[in-house]
Amino acid sequence: MKNIPNVYDAEPIPAPAMQEIERILSSGDLFRYTSENSPVALLETEFAKTLGSTYALAVSSCSAALFLSLKSLGLPRDAKVLIPAFTFGAVPSAVVHADCVPVLCECQNNYRIDIDDFAAKLPQVQAVIVSHMRGHTSDMDAIMALCDEAQVPVVEDAAHSLGTVWDGRNIGTIGKIGCFSFQSYKLLNAGEGGIMITDDPDLIARAVIMSGAYEHNWKKHPVLSTAFDKWQNKLPLYNQRMNTLSAAIIRPQLTELPRRVADGRRNHDHVAERLHQSPWFDVPKKLAKEIRAPDSIQFNLAGLNDDEVSLFVNAAATAGINVQVFGTSKDNARAFWNWKFLGEPPELPQTKAMLMRACDVRLPARLSIEDCDVISEALITAMYRVMQPATAYGT
């Protein structure tokens, strides 16, 4: 058997980060508000420019960005927030943290929001978080049309969608606010970190203050001071700032982004094409207006019963590939019924059925096409061993 590539290792951090970190460590300047041109402020300017938005605020995680987004929207206590039922547990958690109540809407077999269920539940809610889960973009035209009509603000959880484009627009710039993650498994890796972007000066002013720009530290943000004057001393300080070292690690990765996006897409599309040759793998197609930036692949197991699903997962594991079925892997944080902190799970049969067959395999941009072939072969062989053992023994 060929060597199975390691899909968990990260890429090295570009060399310029080392020099900058040495400079920071020798000056001890780790707090973003000590100096005017902190690496955190520079990252905000560069990130906003890269995405094409007016303002950015770097924080401690994407979860913090989601929390601050809801807080800066000024939602009252117990406001309902619509989120997709297929998302990461951090998303309903951010809603709870902001003293709001998540309402879960159904997702489809292609991992995207079910627009009919979304439209049906929209009248109950005061805000929406669209989670572009694993980089799968929901129909943003339909979502924005419905939300604009209902005057409900949209926050995009683009944690896993950096570099994705919808109809010529960067994901994260379509809703009122876009939130991104710099956690190690995302496209830009600082270990931990997050950032939010918006074109709304009043909203960013509130988020900046609540993120911990106490006293007049907001003066170190290049945003209209009139927006800040209005909110001085009127908002709580949640202290979710980014540390300068994190910004120094992220900044030199920004120029790597186009390459990572292109290579990740190449790897994904290559494996998708190989898997499609087997009748038991269904890799949902992208939507027409979407240009994707994947760093993993998701596919549904078609025509397998529960036993066959677990036999396939075991056969893949024996071959050295970790396949995670969202709904069957123990305590999976992306299965809504495991979010017990919300109380009794709602009835969402469509999303549940999808999660019981939907597989997740990491496919980082640094893998070569040969690596991707090894992974595809191993998955296809594992499937034959389960579904057509007579054929598999020859391979």
Ligand X SMILES: *Cc1c(COP(=O)(O)O)cnc(C)c1O
Q: Which is nearer to ligand X, 162 or 315 (CB)?
A: 162
Q: Does 367 bind ligand X (CB under 6 A)?
A: no
Q: Which residues pair with 359 in a beta bridge?
A: 299, 325
Decide: is 133 part of the binding site for ligand X (CB under 6 A): yes
How do the residues of the chain divide into helix, strand and coil, expressed in percent and rounded to 5?
45, 15, 40
Nearer to ligand X, 53 or 61 (CB): 61
- Closer to ligand X by Cβ: residue 111 or 384: 111
Helix spans in 181-336 (H): 201-212, 225-231, 244-250, 257-275, 306-318
Q: Which of 87, 262, 70 is nearest to 165 (CA)?
A: 262
Residue 160 binding ligand X, by CB under 6 A? yes
C-beta of 351 vs 381, nearer to ligand X: 351
b/e string for 217-252 if b means 16 or more Cβ within 10 A?
bbebbebeeebbeebeeebeebebbbbbbbbbbbbb
Contact between 157 and ligand X per CB under 6 A = yes
Cα dihedral 28, 29, 31, 36 in deg (nearest 10): 170
List 55, 88, 218, 228, residue binding ligand X (CB under 6 A): 88
Applying CB under 6 A, among 48, 57, 91, 152 the residue interacting with ligand X is: 91
Determine, following the binding rule CB under 6 A, whether residue 69 of this chain makes contact with ligand X.
no
- C-alpha to C-alpha distance for 207 and 220, rounded to whole angstroms: 14
358 interacts with ligand X by CB under 6 A: no
Shortest distance, position 3 Cβ to ligand X, whole Å: 28
> Rounded distance, CA 346 to CA 193, Å?
31
Q: Which of 53, 72, 164, 183 binds ligand X (CB under 6 A)?
A: 183
Give yes or no for residue 63 binding ligand X (CB under 6 A).
Answer: yes
Q: Which residue number, 63 or 351, has a Cβ lying nearer to ligand X? A: 63
- By beta-carbon proximity to ligand X, the closer residue of 7 and 311 is 7
Check: CB of residue 137 under 8 Å from CB of residue 66. no
Instruction: Return d(Cα 189, Cα 185) in angstroms, integer.
Output: 7
> Binding to ligand X by residue 131, rule CB under 6 A?
yes
Positions touching ligand X (CB under 6 A) are 61-63, 87-88, 90-91, 131, 133, 157, 159-160, 181, 183, 194
